Structure 1
Amino acid sequence: MQNYSAVDSNLVKSIILPRSKLSRKGENGITLIVGGNRIYHGAPLLSSIAALRSGTDLVYTAIPKINLSSSRNFSADLIFVPFPDDKLTSGAVRRLLNMIPKKIDAAGIGMGLSFSKSQSLLALINGLLQQEVRLIVDAGALVPEILNNITNTKTVVTPHAGEFKRLFGILPTGELDEQLKLVTKFAREYGLVIALKGFWNIVSDGDQTFVTQRTTPAMTVGGTGDILSGLVAGYLTKYESIHACILGLYFNGMAGLNIFNRMGLHMVASDLLDELPYVMKAFDKISD
C-alpha cells in the first residue's frame, strides 16, 4: 500500500496559523479569481466568496463583461475586474494584468472559464508566475498545454477524474492504492501539488500524500468544486501549497457534512458559503 496520512482535526489544528491582532487590510492575503463564461457565470462567484471565507482580506474577481451586472447583484463583497469578451483572449489577458493590483498573493484560474486559444491561458499563467503569484488551476484551465509552464512551480491543480485524464492522459480508476500511486507519480514528475477530487480526495506534492474521504454524497452537487478552489486560492496567500489543499478539503467537507445532517441530500453549493465560518471558527487563532 502506498504510504499516506489521513486528514483529521488534529492535523488541521497543527497547520492553522494565527492572525495578528495588529494586522491591517491586505496583510492577511490578496487573492485573484479568474473564471466564468456566458453559461457558467456562477462558478467564479462561488470561488470568490469562498476565498473571502478562508480569511483572505481582498478578492479581485476577473469575469467576462457580459456577466458583470448580474455578478454585482450577487455580492457587494467582491471587487470585479471585467474583461471584454465572453472568452479569455490574449488581449484580455494583457488588459487584466495591467488592471489588477501589483501585489497579488495567490490566484485561482479556470472555474467556469472559456478561452479562445491556449496561448491566452498560458499568457495569463506566465504573467502571474512572473509576478510570483501562487496559483491554483482548476476546471476549464486544466488542459495539457499548461504543464510545461507550471512544472516545478508547486502550482496546485484540482482535477476530478475526467480532468485528471485530460491533463495527464490517464484515468485514475481502481482501488485507493492505484490512485495514490498515480497522483504521487505525476506530482513528483511535474513538481506540482495535485488534489484529485472524488470519493477519496488525494493530495500529494510527490513526497507527502494525504487522503480525506468525501463526507457525504450530497457533495456531488455542482459548484462544490468551485468553492474548494476558492478556499485553496485564499489559503495559498498564507500557506504552502499542500497545506492550502488540506485546509480547503477539510473545511469544505465538514461544511458539507453539517448541511447534510440538517438538509439531507438537498443542499446546493451556495449553502456551503454560509456554513463554512461555523466549521472554521473553532480553529481560529489570534496572536499579539
Structure 2
Amino acid sequence: MADNQSVYNIEQIRKLEKLYARFHDGSTYALMERAGKAAFDLLRRRWPLAQRLLVICGKGNNGGDGFIVARLAQQAGLNVQVVMLKPEFLPKGDAGRAFELLKQTSVEVVSWSEALLEGHDLIIDAMLGIGIQSDVREPYTQVIHALNQCALPVLALDIPSGLDADTGMICGVCIEASVTLTFIGQKRGLLTGQAADVCGDIELDELECGQGVFSLVSTKVSHYRYEQGIRWLKPRPPVCHKGMFGHVLIVGGAPGMAGAARMAAEAAGRTGAGLVSVLTHQSHAALVSVQRPEIMSHGVGEDIDISRLVPLLKKASVIAMGPGLGLDSWGRQLAAAVDEFVVSNKVPCVYDADALTWLSENPASENPVNQPLRVITPHPGEAARLLECANADIQRDRFSAVERLNEVYGGVCVLKGAGSLIASNGKTSVATYGNPGMASGGMGDVLTGIIAGLMAQGIPAYDASQLGVAIHGLAADDACEQKTEKAHHRGLLATDLMPYIRTLVNPAP
C-alpha cells in the first residue's frame, strides 16, 4: 500500500502504472478491471436504490473503466445504457479489451442525446480522465453542460472530466460530480485550485498495486491531516508556568484596524501561547487591553524610534507582523524597523497581510536560505505581488507558485485558499479543511495568530504552519457544523472560531 498521505502528479501516476505492468507480465488490464469493480461497489453502497445507470464513456482508458462498470452493473441486474462519445474512434489497448467484453452483454450502446437524462437514476462520468492537456472540446463540452444542469447525481471515475489532475484548474468546463472515485494514488488536482467546486466527496482506491510499486516512486507532496500534528499537543505537565510556552508579539493595527491585531493576538492566546502582546498605534492601544485584558498592549506613535522598540521586541519569542498594519507612513516605518530587528536577531516571525505587501516592495538582499524561521502566509493576490505576476498565474498552478515563493523568500510559505499549500525546503503539503464560510474578514488574522502561538510553544515552523492551517480550517468546519446536513456557512465571523481552536489544541488522549 502507498502512504495514504502521498499526493502524486500525472507523471508519477503514469510511472506507477508502468511499474505495475513491469511486475505483472507487462499488463495493466487487471488495474482497469479493479477500477471498474471498485466503482461498481461504491455506487451500490452510495446509491443502493439506483436501478438505471447512464455510463458516458470517452475513447481512452477512462472510458474503459466505464465499460467495466456497465458490464458489472448489467450482470447484477441493473438497467444500463452506455454512451460512446466519438464512436468513430474505437477504443484500443486495455479500453478496447474492456469494450469487447461489454459487447458480449446485452448492454445498449447509444449515441448521446440529452433526452437520455430523463430515464436514469445515476450518471457515471468516464469521459476524459487525467490525460486532458487543453480546454475541453466538443462533443464533451455540450455533454458536460447538460449533465451539470440536470438534477441527477454523478459518479466521476478517477477525476471529474475537465479538471486538470496536476493543478486543480478547470479546463474550460468540468463535470460537477457528487462523488469522485480516484484510482492508484491521490492526485494533486483533486485537492486544491477549483477542485472543491467540482469533486464532491473524494474516495481513493489503490487497486492493489502493491507496496513494491509505491516504494519505487517518491513524491515530495503530502496530504496533511490534523491527526499528524497531535503529537505536538501533548498534555501539559502539572508543574509549569507561562514562561514555558512562549511570548507572541503581534505587530499591526493602524488607525481604524485595531481589530485585526486584536484577533490575531487572541488566536495566539487561545492556541496556548504563554504570553501575548500587541504593538499597535497609540491611538487605540488601551482599547485592545480593555477588550481582552489578557493581551498586553503597547502603543507607538507616528515617529517610530527603533531604539525604543528593541526592549519589547527582545521579549518576544515569536513576532507576527501584518494584521491591520496598513500601508501608510506609520505602517511602512514600523514594518521596516521590525523586519530589520527580526533579520538581525534571527527571531521567528510570521508575515501576513500588509507585511507581505511591504515585503514585496522591499525584497531581502540576503540569501533566502538564511531565513529558516520566517513564515509567510499570502492569499493568491498577495502571492502575485510577491512574485510580480498576475493573480491568475498563481491560481493556474498553485503548486508551482508555492514552490517558487519558498525559493524566493525562504522559510515556510503558506499559500491560502481552498486546499491551502504549505511549502518548505522542497517539501509541500496540502490541507483540505475549511469551508465557504471562511470568506469573511479577519480569517487570515486568526490563522496568523494560531501559527505564531504554536511556534511560541516550541513547534518547528513547518510543523506549526501545517498544524495551524489544519486547526484553522477544522475550527471553521466545527463552527459551521460542516459534518451535518444543516451546515451553515453564511454569516461566519473570524471570532466564532475561538472556542473551537481551544478544543482542537487540547485533543482527547
The secondary structure found in structure 2 opposite 1:165 is: helix
| Matches for 1:219-258 after TM superposition, within 5 Å | 219-237=438-456, 238-258=458-478
**Cα shift readout 1:46-82 (whole Å, capped 9, x = no counterpart):** 0001011111100111110111233222111100111
| Matches for 1:94-133 after TM superposition, within 5 Å | 94-98=307-311, 100=312, 102-114=314-326, 115-116=328-329, 118=332, 120-133=334-347
| Matches for 1:1-288 after TM superposition, within 5 Å | 1=9, 3-16=220-233, 19-85=236-302, 90-91=304-305, 93-98=306-311, 100=312, 102-114=314-326, 115-116=328-329, 118=332, 120-143=334-357, 144-148=360-364, 151-152=368-369, 153-154=371-372, 155-171=374-390, 173=392, 178-237=397-456, 238-261=458-481, 263-282=488-507
Return the alpha-carbon distance in structure 1 between the equivalents of residues 316 and 479 of structure 2: 33
C-alpha spacing 1:47/1:283, structure 2 compared with 1 (3 Å) = farther
Farther-moved stretch of structure 1 (59-68 vs 173-182): 173-182
Question: Looking at both structures, which has the greater relative contact order when contacts are Cα pairs under 8 Å and sequence separation is at least 6?
Answer: 1
Return the alpha-carbon distance in structure 1 between the equivalents of residues 387 and 280 of structure 2: 27
Return the alpha-carbon distance in structure 1 between the equivalents of residues 444 and 258 of structure 2: 15
Indicate conservation of the 8 Å contact 1:176/1:200, yes or no: no
Return the alpha-carbon distance in structure 1 between the equivalents of residues 407 and 389 of structure 2: 16
Structure 1 residue ranges without an equivalent (≥5): none
Farther-moved stretch of structure 1 (231-240 vs 113-122): 113-122
Return the alpha-carbon distance in structure 2 between the equivalents of residues 5 and 21 of structure 1: 36
Return the alpha-carbon distance in structure 1 between the equivalents of residues 280 and 429 of structure 2: 33
Shift of 1:11: 1.5
Residue type at the aligned position of 2:364 = N
Farther-moved stretch of structure 1 (104-113 vs 5-14): 5-14
Structure 2 residue ranges without an equivalent (≥5): 1-8, 10-187, 189-219, 482-486
Return the alpha-carbon distance in structure 1 between the equivalents of residues 301 and 409 of structure 2: 33
Residue type at the aligned position of 1:102 = K
What TM-score comes out, normalization by structure 2 length?
Answer: 0.51
Return the alpha-carbon distance in structure 2 between the equivalents of residues 278 and 56 of structure 1: 15
Residue type at the aligned position of 2:429 = F
Farther-moved stretch of structure 1 (212-221 vs 28-37): 212-221
Shift of 1:7: 1.4
Q: Name segments (4+ residues, structure 1) moved above 3 Å.
A: 14-21, 117-120, 171-177
The secondary structure found in structure 1 opposite 2:420 is: strand
The secondary structure found in structure 2 opposite 1:236 is: helix
Farther-moved stretch of structure 1 (120-129 vs 213-222): 120-129
Shift of 1:126: 1.6
**Cα shift readout 1:222-276 (whole Å, capped 9, x = no counterpart):** 1011000011111122111111111211111111001111654222111111221
Return the alpha-carbon distance in structure 2 between the equivalents of residues 164 and 224 of structure 1: 17
Q: How many residues align?
A: 279
Residue type at the aligned position of 2:455 = L
Indicate conservation of the 8 Å contact 1:164/1:171, yes or no: no
**Cα shift readout 1:16-72 (whole Å, capped 9, x = no counterpart):** 455343322211111110011112110000000101111110011111011123322
C-alpha spacing 1:125/1:244, structure 2 compared with 1 (3 Å) = same
What TM-score comes out, normalization by structure 1 length?
Answer: 0.88
Return the alpha-carbon distance in structure 2 between the equivalents of residues 129 and 240 of structure 1: 18
Return the alpha-carbon distance in structure 2 between the equivalents of residues 268 and 199 of structure 1: 18
The secondary structure found in structure 2 opposite 1:108 is: strand
C-alpha spacing 1:272/1:73, structure 2 compared with 1 (3 Å) = same
Return the alpha-carbon distance in structure 2 between the equivalents of residues 17 and 145 of structure 1: 41
Return the alpha-carbon distance in structure 2 between the equivalents of residues 119 and 67 of structure 1: 18
The RMSD of aligned alpha carbons is 2.4
Residue type at the aligned position of 2:316 = I
Return the alpha-carbon distance in structure 1 between the equivalents of residues 349 and 497 of structure 2: 23
C-alpha spacing 1:177/1:168, structure 2 compared with 1 (3 Å) = closer
Return the alpha-carbon distance in structure 2 between the equivalents of residues 203 and 133 of structure 1: 20
